[in-house]
Amino acid sequence: MSFAPVIDSLGIPPSALVEQRVPKKLLLEHGAPTAADKRQIQDGIDEIVWVAALKPTNIGVPAFQDAVREYLEVAVLTVELRPAAKPARLIELIHRAIPYPLILATGQGRAVSLSLAHKRWSQGEAGKVVIEEVRQAALNPEAPSTQESEFLASLSVSRLPTRDLFAFYDGILVRLAALEAAHILGRFLVPADAGAAVTLAEALEARARIERQLVVLRAQARRETQVNRRVQINLEMSKLERNLSETLLKVGGSPE
């Protein structure tokens, strides 16, 4: 598994590189709340590499701190998963275990996933950091699509917001959402402003919710024996599919 196309796209300054292996013990101690999680980490992860630490001193972007969160640096990690690993849970556990905002590239076979998640102070436990929603998208770094190539080109440190590390990290999250939309619409568009970014995130959330509802209704339709009820379910599905189409029209932005 080669993470080079993804890591190279960031244009990381040499002074920010760490390139050290991280022992699984770190995740076992800080990111595994249950025995099942510990087994997943132990059995599912092959190698963890701390690639870089992006700090104000090496990328020229100021730190960020307010009452909700503190971003002093952004960590870049690569994790190679074993074939039987369950990626979704492991990705969440890794983000939970690392106290800094994390750019995480995970590989399993030929598949690569890039994920990010904002972090904030816990409201119930002083000094503890908790993650918000994990956003991720699949990539084919060995043979990227046009949209994936455009996404990777947009990730260079020199092209991301420089107001502070929160804006810097959020800029990558916005691009990750734009890539998710590109997988649907066939074009990669970075939202032009904060309002467009919110519209994009809301549209993707609505789309996921509608698709979950459609899965349930399709299962009901297959089981239903009464014709009238089946017709009603099909009408509900048609309405949801129209809503899905309308939602996708809201996913937009301006070319990067």
User: What local confidence, expressed as pLDDT, does residue 19 receive?
Assistant: 94
- Residue 15 token pair: 């002074």
The stretch 207-222 carries a mean pLDDT of: 80
Claim to verify: residue 139 and residue 201 sit in the same structural domain: no
Q: Is pLDDT above 70 for 104? A: yes
In a domain, 29, yes or no: yes
pLDDT score, position 255: 38
Could you give the percent of the chain with pLDDT greater than 90?
43
User: Is the confidence at residue 256, as pLDDT, over 50?
Assistant: no
Question: Mind listing the pLDDT tens digit for each residue in 38-95?
Answer: 888 889 999 999 999 999 999 999 999 999 999 999 999 999 999 989 899 999 999 9
Instruction: For residues 68 and 136, state if they share a domain.
Output: yes
Q: What's the total number of domains in the chain?
A: 2
**Same domain for 124 and 45?**
yes
Q: Which amino acid is at 22?
A: V
Q: Is residue 176 part of a domain?
A: no
| pLDDT digits 0-9 by tens, 170-210 | 999 999 989 988 887 788 888 878 887 888 888 888 878 87
Assess whether 132 and 11 both reside in one domain.
yes
Residues 11, 135, single domain; the answer is yes
Q: What pLDDT score does 244 carry?
A: 65
* 15 and 133 housed in the same domain: yes
pLDDT of residue 75: 96
Establish if 255 belongs to a structural domain: no
Q: Which of 15-24, 124-133, 221-230 has the highest mean pLDDT?
A: 15-24
Structural domain boundaries enclosing 227? 196-250
Torsion of CA 143, 89, 160, 179, to 10 degrees: 50
Domain-located, residue 10: yes
Q: What is the pLDDT of residue 151?
A: 93
180 inside domain: no
Mean pLDDT for the chain overall: 86
Q: Which of residues 86, 110, 145 is at a domain's end?
A: 145
